[in-house]
Structure 1
Amino acid sequence: MTAPATRSLLALAASAFVVLAAEPLYLLVDTAVVGHLASRALAGLGVGAALMGLLTVVGTFVEYGTTSRAARWYGAGRLDAAVGEGVQATWLAAGIGLVVVAVGEVLAGPLTSALAGSASTQHAAESWFRIAVLGMPGVLVVLAGNGWMRGVQRTREPVWIVVAANAASAVLCPLLVFPAGLGLEGSAVANVAAQIVGAALFVRALRRATSDLRPDRSVMRSQLVVGRDLMLRSAAFQVAFLTAAGVASRMGTAQIAAHQIGLQLWEFTALLLDSFAIAAQSLVGAALGAAEASAARTLARRVATWGLYAGVGFGALYAAGWVVVPRLFTSSAAVQHQASVLWPWFVAMLPAAGVVFALDGVLIGAGDVRFLRTITVVGAVGAFAPLNLAALHWHWGLTGVWAGLTAFVVVRLVGMVWRTRGSAWVVTGVGS
């Protein structure tokens, strides 16, 4: 890999790092604010947030699928077609988002009842979720905007758009929860506000990039083909994580509250580690679009190395904060104790997770989404979910739940290292 390519990798990763950090940082603020209301409110937020993640599955492809498709056009010298992918992804995002809102409102009660371990947790979760789900069209439009901008290697605009929207919401959240007296529902209102602002700014950026905003069904159909496997991959994630939330909720209020803290920190760290994956999506897609197979292979090795370094670094930071970090999110001694149970697993898996997320990006950028779908389903259904259910049956507590998450990471690590050492993923040229 040439020095300029290395600089491009780090520049894209740095931009993605800031963008990815903005949303989970807001969620961490949200968790910390709600955590000082009561354990019931934090448990409700945990269940509600898990459901929001499930509904987001249907629009995952508008981000990652758009990045890989736009990057190939960009590498082939077709900027107009690359931006056109963003236009069609935005139309899809808005339409899917409206459907998700309708489905979410209809099923809010049954879904929260299925996950919550008590009536009080269910009531809190449903109240939060019914408000938060209104922001789903905005969530998906933001994902589409990030997708096409990464594909054409525009790194600055997504940073200021996402940071501005989420910073405003992070300020709004504590004001609505406490002085305004809205409690848990105030955090949901602040969440929706961030998504609306972010979506409006990304649409404005798209209008500045092209004058052709007409929907194109043929491009949308091609995006949906890629999206099918990405949605199945994401569904496998959500089934496993929802199983974990349901199991932890049935273990007790302290367990689900501690699991929520650990999961938010995990998702925050995962998204930051994912910055190398997003850089890989863009650069690998562009390299293959330009028929530079050797450059794509070099990028795969380099991004996996950077992912490992980052995973080790985060693991060391969380190990040092073993006692201090959980106390930032809760004053409950019982919840703090349960957080200490899951902490060793959380720290130990991070180096492997860094490599896994990096190689995820390589294979998404290459369009090798069928393999990603398969290895994710195997890890989720064959390792993560069974260990969660075993933890409930044999009373292993959060140790069993987080052992399941660790096994999920290890299964994917083995599969993706094996895949990227081969040549099946190296397909050059521009697809349909």
Structure 2
Amino acid sequence: MVVAGALSGGIGGVVISEKSVVRRRCLGAQNVIRNVNVNRVDIRSRRLRFDNVVRGCGLISDHEALDCDMGGSKLEERLAETRDRLVNGSVDEPIELSDVIRPPSVQTELVLLALPAIAGQAIEPLAQLMETAYIGRLGALELASAGVSISIFNIVSKVFNIPLLSVATSFVAEDIAKHAESESDLEERRQLPSVSTALVLSIGIGIIEGTALYFGAGTFLNLMGISSASSMRVPAQRFLQLRALGAPAVVLSLAIQGVFRGFKDTKTPVFCLGLGNLAAVFFFPILMYGFGLGVTGAAISSIASQYIVTFAMIWYLNKKTVLKLPQMKDLQFAGYLKSGGFLLGRTLAAVATVTLSTSMAARQGPIAMAAHQICLQVWLSSSLLADAQASAGQALIASSFSQGNYSRVKEITYYALKTGLITGVSLAIILGLSFSTLATLFTNDAEVLRIVRSGVLFVSASQPITALAYIYDGLHYGVSDFKFAACSMMLVGAMSSAFLLYAPAVFGLAGVWAGLTLFMGMRALSGYIRLADQNGPWRFLQEIPKTEIAVSQ
């Protein structure tokens, strides 16, 4: 099919057809023409290249090409003549513009981004399992005290660090897209305000977080019900204070992960995380058993791992962007704090709802609580797949949306939702068939296993809903719709919490699981309503604006 288009150098009116070889050569000629006009001094160094590509395009004959050796003025005359012929559309072998500007397929980009992200999501939980296994060999008291401290550290980290990661991904992707529009050399390292702001904020938050965990360890343990009279109090407080020293590294590494996602690079963080956690696995037995440090050795190993990850990420980030102290006027504190504030409220609402579900399950008794914990961990672990897909979609949408490429955003959106639904259905089938057997890996207690098997419906049937909820979150982050993401989560969390306060008293543990399913279902529903809203940021899904910048694929 023949269409009309304009060459990237400003030459228009050229008829286009499928001749890929000729297309590449003609583009080379066009680039030479532009470069010669810009820099006359470089004419002779480009003469041979022009000779080959222009002759290959059929614009001048072999004999005419030899005339280029006669001198700069003769060459300039020939270049002007060739440019006029291109402008007038007299090229014998036209070029297909769609092949020139066509970006990588959405499917390819999503898969290439999601697969490493999935690996990255799995590495840290596996390392924590290894840490738990090593500590468990020291005794029940050590395992219980370390478990409480790790839970506190993870909750604080999730509440304050995840918002920074999500905001950094969107802001960096938008920043890169804006620079791509204004600068021709896309490979040149430059200092990006979004990156500098993320790093400065993460360092500040990390120091504050570490200080709060170190000096407030006793207060946090009191909130968890570990009184000063408990045998777990002293070892738990010591372990938490040691882990607090690694808080700055954890916050900084998460922020840099968000930056790498903004660069559409999910492979580098996986390598760095793998390197650091492999070091931790190496340090655990040496420090804990070889040097006899026990739980303290486990904490030191984790801290060393966190700083190894952070320094490795900084090393690789320096290859992508210029890292230096930014000027205060270049920092984007207002945008980060505003969007991060919204996501902080959103994260608090989500954590509060899940924590409430655990509290209500605990009131059903120790056996019911043990069964709930198994179901909850499997449920949360399986959601990492959808979360990785959501982060990949967020990075792609943020880049295309900031450029006004609404057709590509629409394509990414529909494909992300489709793959998310497929992932959810696949997980539902797999868990539905294997969950009863999988539960035996966690416990051999017959009564606990009986209750766990009754939770198969919750764990498996809710997977498609859970996957869509995570995908919708990633889509909203991609268009920087953080305010809606926060407000909707607070509303959904409040409604789900109200249900969780009363349903377990009537339905028991099934009421807890129904409350969590309701929580994810309303998240998915609110995401769908936002996409269908013709007055929101997704209004282009109904109709592509005429002012769209990109060419529809």
TM over 0.5: yes
Pair 1:101 & 2:203 matched: no
CA contact (8 A) 2:532 2:538 kept: no
Select which of 274, 279, 288 maps to 1:168: 279
Q: Which has the higher helix share?
A: 1
Correspondence for 1:22: 123
C-alpha distance in 1 between matches for 2:458 and 2:135: 25
Q: Could you tell which deviates more after superposition, 330-339 or 14-23? A: 330-339
Asked whether the 8 Å contact 2:172–2:259 carries over to 1, the reply is yes
Distance 1:175 1:64, change over 3 A: same
What amino acid is aligned across from residue 52 of structure 1 in structure 2? F
Which shows bigger deviation, 128-137 or 344-353? Answer: 128-137
Report the 3-state secondary structure (helix = DSSP H, G, I; strand = E; otherwise coil) of the residue aligned with 2:246.
helix
Note the 1:210-225 alignment, pairs <5 A: 210-217=321-328, 218-225=331-338
Greater relative CO (CA pairs within 8 A, separation 6+): 1
Q: Does 1:88 align with 2:189?
A: no
Note the C-alpha offset of 1:364.
0.2
Look up the match of 2:488. 375
Decide which structure has the larger Cα Rg and report it: 2
Change (3 A) 1:33 1:401: farther
CA RMSD across the alignment: 3.3
From 397, 416, 427, the counterpart of 2:527: 416
SS at match of 1:323: helix
- Equivalent position of 1:60 in the other structure: 162
Match of 2:537 among 418, 425, 432: 425
Alignment partners' CA distance in 1, 2:326 and 2:539: 28
Q: 1:281-300 alignment to 2 at 5 Å? A: 281-300=394-413
| Counterpart residue number, 1:351 | 464
Looking at structure 1, the residues matched to 235 and 373 of structure 2 have their Cα atoms a distance apart, in angstroms, of 14
Cα deviation for residue 371 of structure 1 reads 0.7
Contact 2:215 2:241 in 1 (8 A): no
The superposition leaves residues 3-47 of structure 1 with CA deviations (integer Å, 9 ceiling, x where unpaired) of 622211111111211112212232344455666777776665664
Mapped partners of 2:506, 2:292: distance in 1: 39
2:339 to 226, 248, 254: 226
Q: Which whole-Å CA distance do the structure 1 matches of 2:360 and 2:226 have between them? A: 8
After TM superposition, give the deviation of residue 362 of structure 1 in Å. 0.8
In 2, Cα distance between the equivalents of 1:333 and 1:283?
A: 47
Flag structure 1 segments of 5+ consecutive residues without an equivalent: none
| Match in the other structure for 2:171 | 69
Q: Cα 1:65–1:272, aligned 2, differ >3 Å: closer, same or farther?
A: same
2:389 alignment partner AA: F
Pairing of 1:2-13 with structure 2 (within 5 A): 4-13=105-114
Paired position in structure 2 for 1:311: 424
Amino acid in structure 1 at the alignment position of 2:336: Q
Offset, 1:178: 6.9
User: Does the 8 A contact of 1:69 with 1:82 survive in 2?
Assistant: no
SS of alignment partner, residue 208 of structure 1: coil
Q: Measured at CA, do residues 129 and 263 of structure 1 come closer, stay the same or move farther in structure 2, by a change above 3 Å?
A: farther
Q: Tell me if 1:114 matches 2:227.
A: no
Q: CA deviation at 1:216?
A: 4.5
Of residues 471, 495, 498 in structure 2, which corresponds to 1:386? 498
Q: Deviations over 1:387-409 (max 9, x none)?
A: 443366x2755433332221110
* Deviates most, 410-419 or 309-318: 309-318
Identity %: 26
Distance in 2, matches of 1:112 and 1:379, equals 29
* 1:148 maps onto 2:259 in alignment: yes
The C-alpha deviation readout for 1:398-429, integer Å capped at 9, x for no partner, is 43333222111011011001111234124999
TM-score normalised according to structure 2 size: 0.68
How many equivalent residue pairs?
A: 427
Residue range with higher mean Cα deviation, 315-324 or 303-312: 315-324
In structure 2, what residue type is equivalent to 1:63? Answer: L
Match of 1:10, SS state, is helix
Q: 1:319-338, aligned counterparts within 5 Å? A: 319-331=432-444, 336-337=449-450
Question: Cα 1:344–1:83, aligned 2, differ >3 Å: closer, same or farther?
Answer: farther
190-199 or 174-183, larger mean C-alpha shift: 174-183
Change (3 A) 1:401 1:83: farther
